[in-house]
Amino acid sequence: MSEKLQKVLARAGKGSRREMEAMISAGRVSVDGKVAKLGDRVEGSEQIRLDGHSVNVQAAEQEVCRILMYNKPEGEMCTRKDPEGRPTVFDRLPPLESGRWIAVGRLDINTQGMLLFTTDGELANRLMHPSRKVEREYAVRVFGEVDDAMLKRLKDGVKLEDGPAKFQQIFYRGGEGRNHWFHVVISEGRNREVRRLWESQDVQVSRLIRVRYGDLELRRQLPLGGWIELPLNEVNYYRKLVDLKFEDKTKVKVDDKAIDNAKARRIRRSVKKHHQRTIKQTRRRRS
């Protein structure tokens, strides 16, 4: 059966379907030597090239859907390469034999916490799409006076420069003086939406941590800068959430599912080694 060309390219890890559509429209993709057009379909036996480079295409049933949970530290960019040489969230991820890791949404440089990566571009697109209304929960520390009227406005909806926005839920988690911790839930992934909602009420966000995506929470023992691959049942939770067919294969070993103390120590050692390598590379560039 044929599939849309942009879907095949996204599954091969070349980017999101929207990015692939733009590349096809720009004439950067060819099929069997002919420049492709938006709307073209392929069966999988064709020679597909992107910017002249051959694309390794796998049928959907041959591809193993993998998902990583990453605990992003502050200071990392959600991009593959940063022109200023700053560290990116892709720097620490394990290498793949084919395809590439695709980030499910973004966290800005000053936000930390749960970030998902997958090898399945269709899954990433659906999890990010506003129409799916997948919940994201954040722990947020704000500085300023917060009262019940403000919280009501934030739940009822306020107007931002790109349209109305609101928190689905707000939970107070304590604080001292003018510093207060809240947990907030949204179901969109607009740029800096959580920060902008609070700032619309003249309070400042001083810490922001994503702690949940859908029903799965950030692993408590997962250190900053560490990742863990999700087991098959959790991969299929996300696939079911966005109406995709269940997976029946996984790369995760049975004893790798949980994070015990020994595994947490191994992850921390790996994170530390990566940090030391990054410092050395930065010093070499500066010298």
pLDDT in tens, 150-177: 999 999 999 999 999 999 999 999 988 8
Confirm if 69 and 220 have CB atoms less than 8 A apart: no
Task: Name the nearest CA neighbour of 116 among 4, 10, 238.
Answer: 238
The CATH number that domain 135-213 falls under is 3.30.2350.10
Task: Tell me, rounded to whole angstroms, the distance of Cα 234 from its chain centroid.
Answer: 16
**CA–CA gap between residue 98 and residue 46 (Å, rounded):** 18
Residue type, 47: Q
- CATH 3.30.2350.10 maps onto the chain at 67-130+216-286, 135-213
DSSP secondary structure, 34-65, as one string: EE--TT-EE-S-S-EEETTEEP----TTTPPP
What's this model's pTM, rounded to 2 decimal places? 0.79
Task: Tell me, rounded to whole angstroms, the distance of Cα 18 from its chain centroid.
Answer: 16
Partners of 181 in beta bridges: 141, 174
Whether domain 67-130+216-286 has CATH 3.30.1330.40: the reply is no
Block means of pLDDT (10 residues each) for the chain, length 287 residues?
86 80 96 95 91 81 85 94 90 85 93 95 88 96 95 96 95 91 93 95 96 96 94 96 92 70 75 67 62
Q: What six digits make up the tokens of 189?
A: 């992934």
The one catalytic residue in 32, 108, 162, 215 is 108
Q: What pLDDT digit, counting tens, does each position of 170-211 carry?
A: 999 998 888 999 999 999 888 899 999 999 999 999 999 999
Whether domain 3-54 has CATH 3.40.50.2300: the reply is no
- CATH 3.10.290.10 maps onto the chain at 3-54
User: Is 256 labeled as catalytic in the residue annotation?
Assistant: no
